[in-house]
Every structure is written in C-alpha cells, then in structure tokens.
Amino acid sequence: MTTIYDANARIAHTWGKGHLPALPKSMSDLKDKAKEKIDDAADATKKASDKVIDKSKDVAHSAGKKMEEGGKRLQDA
C-alpha cells in the first residue's frame, strides 16, 4: 500500500532529477504573467481616465465660455 508520504517522496525525487518543471520557475512565470496583466490593465485604466479628464476639461471650458457670453449679453442689455 502506497502512503501519501511515499507518493510525496517519489514526486520530490523526480523533481530533483529534473524530469518535471521546477516549481519555483513555474510560480515565477505565473507571477510575471500576472504582473504583466495587472500592468496592462493599469495602463488601459489610465488611458481611459485621461480621456474622461480631457473630455471633462473641454466641457467645463465650453460651459465657461457660454457663461461668459451670457454675462456679456446681460451687460449689453
């Protein structure tokens, strides 16, 4: 009968011989890929927020211009 300890010993022995990919390298690869995805998402979010900010500035500027024109009309009246 094989116990969990025997199975773990065989897996550790096989890993030690290099027959299976090294766990730290695989975890490192996963970590790097996750970091890339997070960085990509952060860049996309920044670009989207920059567009919203630019549009908001344009709207505020346009509203200010209309208010200024309305104030001039009131002064002329």
| 38, two tokens | 């997070």
pLDDT for the residue 44: 94
- Asked if 20 contacts 14 with a C-beta cutoff of 8 angstroms, the reply is yes
pLDDT for the residue 24: 60
Matching residue, tokens 């009246």: 77
Q: Which residues of the chain have pLDDT under 50?
A: none
| 42, two tokens | 């952060």
| 2, two tokens | 């094989």
Q: How big is the chain, counted in residues?
A: 77
The whole-model pTM stands at: 0.50
